[in-house]
Structure formats: structure tokens, C-alpha cells
């Protein structure tokens, strides 16, 4: 008998495929993905999927050496057995990389190799998917994603997370026309990749809270519809963390369907906000600074999990002192935009080079804004902090509960497990907020003049230093 959560998730996915729903938020929530298969032996159905979607002509299959071995060869042979021709591009890591990484250069390489191709098939997980998604977008051709691990929400999102010009960016990109997730392959994925998927999915709680807060304080766009979609995915995953940690095939199916649904909510929102808050900024910071620190990047979802524990703990600490905020004092002590730019350049230039730093400094100064902007943000809280928390509470997870769930699924909860040094954690806590215009709990703490003051206590209480 099919697991009821899985049946429900599959139904929610099917209901959203190919839809365009105008919403009271002013945006149309569209999901251009037309087919999603999450089942045993799904790879056998790839030719059928291509036929049903009318994908004919020249096809290029893109994989890395590992994902080609895991599934690429099998995909290739089922397509060839169907009488279709398929070219293959196996992307190796560059000389500096231990594993292939999602970079603009890799996407350009695929774009070059794919000229004259009618559609692409991405066989892999986060890295391959991001690379092919960006290449397909630039080529204006469709692509099919064949998943090899339930490791992130990116299969179905309209964003490609790539390192571009030294900065980790989420570039707008077209999602695949179809996602094929063969449970035999996904359940056999390395346990750390499965754990990363749980980390990325459970992070929605923090991301949605940050998104809601940003709309309350900064007036950014917000809509409850994508939040509800991603919440369903997250809740089902939470109910199955222990079984996911044991790679139980049904639980892996729940996780996979949940990740696909979560990515769809990002596509619907036309912004990564429902699935990317302060913990994501911390993860992006570690990705960007890894080369300068001579460290290999850990998996996105694992870094996000640790970053989220820090951010949940920060929310809890701020709750205790928000009412005491002295707005006049905070504004009197506030640096101006030029000082912020100098801080950003001083910190980032030695780590990522001067060129990329300049664009970060611009984003940071803009986010910093003027005194009036800060006054308005803080006024929302000081006028009625009860109402402020009432909006965030349904979204926030207690840090102790988040830690319990992550550990049950085998997700790293300390920086040691990520090979991140304590000073890199402190720097991420202080500087990650400068790499995006997005307003998160890290910004709230900074706005209140408390980010540095609370640093040691929050990092220690978050448990990530253990």
C-alpha cells in the first residue's frame, strides 16, 4: 500500500503541473513543468516521457563521471533502444576542483557543446541540474532532469544556483519540462546526499519566516500560496526523518516528492525567498570563500542546516530583547552607506577578489539604506511586537526541535562535520548578510545593533560549535 503522505504529495505535484494561477498577490503562479515521475524503475520510462512531450530531434545527455556511472549509461541505453540518437557530454571537474562545481563557465561549456541540439537531458543532482538548467535557458531549448539523489530542492525551481564572477548567485532559469526520479537510484544515493536533501527541505521554516519578516519590515513581495505549498512538503518530510535516515525506499520517495514540491513553490513565487533565508546566505558565504580558505564546499543542504540552527537560535535570542530596543540610540550609532561599503570591501576583497567585491558593496550599501528606512523597520516592531511575533510564530521551528529532526535524519548539525573552521562561522554570521539584498534575521539583529553583541552567545547556544 502506498504511504498516505506520498500519495498526497504526488497528488499535489500532479495538480500543479502545467498550471498558471492568477493570484490576489498580483503575480501569476505558474509551473511550466509538465511531467514528474517519482517511482521505482522510472528511468525505463524516459523514452515515453520524451515522446509524450514531443521532444524529438537531437538530444544531448549531460552528466558528471559519477552520475554517468550511476544512471547516465542506463538512460542512454534506454533511449537508444527506443531508436533515438543521443550524444553524451560527461563533464569532469576542473584542475582546481575535487568534484565538478556549478559555475557559469561549466554552463557555457554545455551551451557550446549543445549548439544544434534540440533538447538536453541532465543526469545528476544539484550541480549537473544547475549547470544544464542555465545552459538550456540560454539556448532556449527544453531539458529533462533525471535525478540521481534527493539532495536539494533545485530540480523543479526556476533558479540556477551557480558561482558566477566569484559570487554565488541564484540566476533566473527555466525549470525542466520533466523530472524523472527513479527510486531505486535515489534510495541508493550516498547517505550524506540524502541528509542534505532533508536539510534543504526543513530549511523552509526559517526561509518562510525570514520572507514574512521581510515583507512586514521592508515591504517586499510576499504570498501565502507558495508558503503553503512548501509547508506541506516540509511537514511530510518531518514525519519521516528517522526512516529517511535509514534510506527506507518509501521515506526516500516522500523526501523526493517533497523536494520537488518545494522547488515548485519557488517557481510559483518567482523568487527563491520561500526556500532561501538566512541559513542559505551563510551557506552561500561558505561556498564563495571556500577556494580562498583551501576548503572543499560541503553539500548545500548540509551547510544550510547548520546555518539555519544559528538563525533559529538568533530569532529566539532576539525575542527576549526586542521590546527593549532603543531605536534613537541605534540610529545615533549607525554607520553610513560609505562605511558599510568599506567594511564589505575590506572583508571580501582578500577572499574573493576586488572585482566581485565591488558589486557586493553596492548591494550592501543599498540594503543598508538610510536612517528613515531603519526607523520605519524598527517602528513596525516597537509599535506592536506581539503582532510581529504572531505573524512569524506559525512559521518558525524551535531550534531544539530543528536539531532533533536534523540529527534523526543524519544531517550534520556542527561546523566540524562540514570542515568549516570557527572563524569562518563567525565571519559568516557577521558578513553573509552582505552578499544578497534579501532581508533576514541576520539583518534584523544588525539593525538592532545586536549582531556582534549576541554573536558568541548565539553561536554557542546554537550547538553548531560542538
Name the residues that contact Zn ion, by CB under 5 A: 23, 25, 200, 223, 225
> Looking at beta carbons only, is 179 or 344 nearer to Zn ion?
179
Nearest to 276 by CA among 390, 169, 425: 169
Dist CA 106 CA 77 (whole Å) = 25
Nearest to 256 by CA among 181, 200, 191: 181
Cβ-proximal residues to 448 (8 Å cutoff; 6+ apart), any chain = 318, 321, 322, 325, 330, 378
CB of 294 to Zn ion, least distance (A): 25
Q: Which long-range contacts (CB under 8 A, 24 or more apart) does 75-83 make?
A: 75/43, 75/46, 75/121, 75/123, 75/146, 78/43, 78/44, 78/46, 78/47, 79/46, 79/47, 79/50, 79/121, 81/47, 82/47
CB of 462 to Zn ion, least distance (A): 19
> Looking at beta carbons only, is 3 or 289 nearer to Zn ion?
289
CB of 207 to Zn ion, least distance (A): 8
> Looking at beta carbons only, is 119 or 284 nearer to Zn ion?
284
Q: Are strands 119-124 and 59-63 parallel, antiparallel or unpaired?
A: parallel
> Looking at beta carbons only, is 25 or 53 nearer to Zn ion?
25
Query: Given strand 86-90, what is the order of strands in its sheet?
Result: 35-39, 178-182, 143-147, 119-124, 59-63, 86-90
CB of 418 to Zn ion, least distance (A): 15
> Looking at beta carbons only, is 35 or 267 nearer to Zn ion?
267
CB of 156 to Zn ion, least distance (A): 12
> Looking at beta carbons only, is 72 or 197 nearer to Zn ion?
197
Amino acid at each position: 500500500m502506498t504511504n498516505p503522505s506520498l500519495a498526497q504529495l504526488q497528488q499535489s505535484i500532479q495538480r500543479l503541473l502545467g498550471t498558471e494561477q492568477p493570484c490576489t498577490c498580483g503575480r501569476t503562479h505558474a509551473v511550466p513543468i509538465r511531467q514528474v515521475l517519482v517511482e521505482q524503475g522510472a528511468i525505463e520510462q524516459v523514452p515515453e516521457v520524451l515522446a509524450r512531450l514531443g521532444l524529438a530531434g537531437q538530444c544531448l545527455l549531460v552528466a558528471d563521471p559519477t552520475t554517468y556511472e550511476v544512471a547516465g549509461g542506463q538512460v542512454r541505453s534506454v533511449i537508444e533502444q527506443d531508436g533515438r540518437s543521443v550524444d553524451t557530454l560527461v563533464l569532469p571537474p576542473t584542475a582546481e576542483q575535487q568534484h565538478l562545481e556549478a559555475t557559469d563557465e561549466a554552463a557555457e561549456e554545455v551551451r557550446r557543446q549543445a549548439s544544434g541540439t534540440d533538447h538536453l537531458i541532465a543526469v545528476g543532482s544539484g550541480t549537473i541540474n544547475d549547470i544544464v538548467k542555465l545552459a538550456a535557458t540560454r539556448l532556449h531549448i527544453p531539458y529533462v532532469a533525471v535525478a540521481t539523489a534527493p539532495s536539494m530542492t533545485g530540480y523543479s525551481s526556476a533558479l540556477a544556483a551557480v558561482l558566477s564572477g566569484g559570487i554565488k548567485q541564484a540566476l533566473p532559469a527555466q525549470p525542466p519540462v520533466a523530472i524523472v526520479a527513479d527510486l531505486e537510484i535515489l534510495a541508493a544515493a550516498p547517505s550524506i546526499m540524502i541528509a542534505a536533501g532533508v536539510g534543504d527541505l526543513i530549511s523552509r521554516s526559517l526561509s518562510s519566516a525570514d520572507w514574512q519578516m521581510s515583507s512586514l519590515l521592508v515591504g517586499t513581495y510576499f504570498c501565502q500560496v507558495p508558503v503553503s505549498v512548501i509547508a506541506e512538503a516540509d511537514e511530510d518530510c518531518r514525519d519521516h526523518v528517522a526512516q529517511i535516515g535509514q534510506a527506507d525506499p518509501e521515506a526516500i520517495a516522500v523526501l523526493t516528492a517533497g523536494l520537488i514540491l518545494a522547488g515548485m513553490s519557488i517557481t510559483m513565487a518567482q523568487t527563491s525567498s520561500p526556500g532561501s533565508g538566512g541559513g542559505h546566505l551563510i551557506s552561500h558565504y561558505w561556498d564563495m570563500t571556500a577556494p580562498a580558505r583551501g576548503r572543499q564546499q560541503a553539500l548545500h543542504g548540509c551547510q544550510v542546516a547548520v546555518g539555519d540552527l544559528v538563525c533559529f537560535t538568533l530569532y529566539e535570542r532576539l525575542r527576549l530583547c526586542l521590546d527593549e530596543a532603543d531605536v534613537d540610540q541605534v540610529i545615533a550609532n549607525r554607520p553610513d552607506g560609505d562605511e558599510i561599503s568599506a567594511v564589505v570591501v575590506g572583508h571580501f576583497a582578500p577572499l574573493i577578489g576586488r572585482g566581485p567585491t565591488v558589486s557586493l558593496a553596492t548591494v550592501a550599501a543599498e540594503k543598508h539604506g538610510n536612517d528613515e528606512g531603519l526607523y520605519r523597520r524598527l517602528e513596525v516592531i516597537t509599535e506592536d511586537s506581539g503582532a510581529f511575533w504572531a505573524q512569524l510564530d506559525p512559521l518558525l521551528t524551535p531550534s531544539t526541535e530543528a536539531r532533533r529532526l536534523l540529527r534523526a535524519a543524519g544531517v550534520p548539525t556542527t561546523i566540524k562535520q562540514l570542515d568549516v573552521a570557527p572563524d569562518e562561522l563567525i565571519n559568516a554570521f557577521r558578513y553573509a548578510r552582505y552578499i544578497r539584498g534579501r532581508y533576514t534575521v541576520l539583518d534584523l539583529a544588525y539593525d538592532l545593533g545586536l549582531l556582534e553583541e549576541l554573536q558568541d552567545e548565539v553561536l554557542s547556544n546554537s550547538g553548531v560549535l560542538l
